[in-house]
A and B are shown apart, each in its own frame.
Chain A
């Protein structure tokens, strides 16, 4: 069984400040990990993915995440927040074995960016 815990359902930062969204996972097999963003009334857009290559993964819109196996974490960061980053962010895990495409999502973190 696999699961994802996102710490903090709501994170608020000032424009230009560091963004840190936390994600911890549980998986019985080596995982694939993903971060998605959802803007109001839209579907999910992939920000980045970890697939057992480099532990530091760079994504779109200036986001990056670091896979830390010892901490079972995959936190999302961005050095400087923009107003357009305000959205809901979801961390997801998927088994690396076979052709399993089931994503298990965290509950999401709503990011607010204050001017």
Chain B
């Protein structure tokens, strides 16, 4: 079966750095997406990786290793507004997104 694993919850301190991991087993691979979802709101797109390596976008970076079935989202200079759930999703061979359950990130002052 297809599976996306990510930690349920993480806590970090304002101003610090946090890394959210995602491992996957899917039938085929056509890219990996990270979304941010604030409580009670819709998911919003953060990043897309289809080749191995690091993609940097401001305070957020995303890394992919296809051979290891592994990705992480790195958030730097954490701000209180970064408190949210972070969703990892893989596009499978049918171009359908398979979603992880999300990682709830709690930022403490």
A and B from one assembly? no
Which B positions have Cβ atoms within 8 angstroms of A?
Answer: none
